[in-house]
Structure 1
């Protein structure tokens, strides 16, 4: 999909971090925007930063299929089409997999996996019916390819999001669709995902932070502090749309890590988690 100017893009999780960077990057390409986030004030702040293109906003909890369907209805109703869909909303919680409560998995899977699935179901059939070029970008994370220690629930949700992305791409190819898919797999990025608890629903909150969760929080805090600018993630995402690339890393070290992991698995060994470079 070479030409983006004058087309329509939808970005979930647009209130900050990678979502905000995607919104600004796509606006710079001349795309009309529908921005969604569960946080109304953060969403409004992102919209205020966009210049030169028509921008709509919709407060949306992507874990709610009715809310995502409403987002799609409004987008197609008011903007007439969708050419780029960025299923970007995501949340993080650390901790060993055996210490996570059912509510933890429900929250992580609700946003990180079901948010992608709801976006696919609400938007993709209508995008197919447009019979135009189009692209779906799912923000997966390298944790969707490399199961990270002390982040079991997050890794489970992101592995599933990667599988959903690959299945979508295969289904579209088999159907002869003009739509393409990118599984965007960032490493450390300077975002606020380590503060995801601020948007956690009350009914999915647990009693308190476990010791291993606190340790994981310290690790992720350091990783994000040393991370790349979200604008760089948006740049590679736009490039992937133009080049119709499926798998996209933000750190070159992960490509070698994927080769090492494959070799380790084929030999029956436990892969190491790669260090990003």
Structure 2
């Protein structure tokens, strides 16, 4: 998409972090916005910062009906959707064998089903518009590299990357005007290390030692992370250039090449550097 001014963008997880940065960046481009999150206060703050052409909707993206309502409002009140950012995400750490069904229900619900619900309820209508459009799925570098202490998060993000790639291939095969970006950030100064604040009560479990240790690792990485505004700039550039994969840290490209080489040799890839 070459021209964003006058178009419509939908951003989930817009109350803070990358979602807020995306909203503000799209507003600078002259776009009308539909912003969603489960945090009413943060969402209202983002809306006040983004300007007058903003609608908001409290939305739990793990709930398909809630995402359908979000889509109905966006298309009904704004007339169209040209950029969809399935950005909402949560973090759950710990070793694979200590993670509970509740942990995976939560992380997969937001990080994977949030993307799937967005695709299901927005993309068919975006195709019917028969205009240029773009879907940006916030995956993570954890969707490309697996590491210890990140079991639930990594599983959900690998799946989100697969969903993004499958969507892009399907759209290309059918000759659609829509394009897809898999956004794979590394350490970014966000509040994803405080995801427990929005965890549903019925999916809350006792914290384990390895879970808490994972937070120490994430806390340390985030303090040295890049500004979310930099990520938003990369996303706008990717939309303009119709780029599928966006890596926020240049060193990840070399890491990917090395990972493939090690896998092809039958070995276990080395631990990635998420900073």
Same fold (TM over 0.5): yes
What corresponds to 1:271 in structure 2? 269
Cα deviation, 1:161-209, whole Å, max 9, x if unaligned, reads 0000000000000110000000000000000000000000011011x21
The separation in 2 between residues aligned to 1:175 and 1:78, in whole angstroms, is 29
Is 1:30–2:58 an aligned residue pair? no
The answer to whether the 8 A contact 1:34-1:55 is kept is yes
What corresponds to 1:42 in structure 2? 42
Cα deviation, 1:121-157, whole Å, max 9, x if unaligned, reads 0000000000000000000000000012110110000
What corresponds to 1:75 in structure 2? 74
What corresponds to 2:100 in structure 1? 101
* Shift in Å, 1:273: 2.5
The separation in 2 between residues aligned to 1:34 and 1:273, in whole angstroms, is 38
Equivalences for residues 48-127 of structure 1 within 5 A: 48-51=48-51, 53-127=52-126
The answer to whether the 8 A contact 2:136-2:180 is kept is yes
Number of residue equivalences = 275
The runs of 5 or more residues in structure 1 that have no matched partner are none
The separation in 2 between residues aligned to 1:219 and 1:240, in whole angstroms, is 30
4+ runs deviating over 3 angstroms: none
Q: CA RMSD in A?
A: 0.7
* Shift in Å, 1:93: 1.0
The answer to whether the 8 A contact 2:147-2:272 is kept is no
The answer to whether the 8 A contact 2:34-2:74 is kept is yes
The answer to whether the 8 A contact 1:38-1:60 is kept is yes
The answer to whether the 8 A contact 1:252-1:276 is kept is no
Task: Look up the SS of the partner of 2:74 in the other structure.
Answer: helix
The separation in 2 between residues aligned to 1:125 and 1:98, in whole angstroms, is 38
* Shift in Å, 1:272: 1.3
Cα deviation, 1:237-256, whole Å, max 9, x if unaligned, reads 00000000000100001010
The runs of 5 or more residues in structure 2 that have no matched partner are none
The answer to whether the 8 A contact 2:183-2:247 is kept is yes
Is 1:225–2:223 an aligned residue pair? yes
TM, length-normalised to structure 1: 0.98
* Shift in Å, 1:274: 2.2
TM, length-normalised to structure 2: 0.99
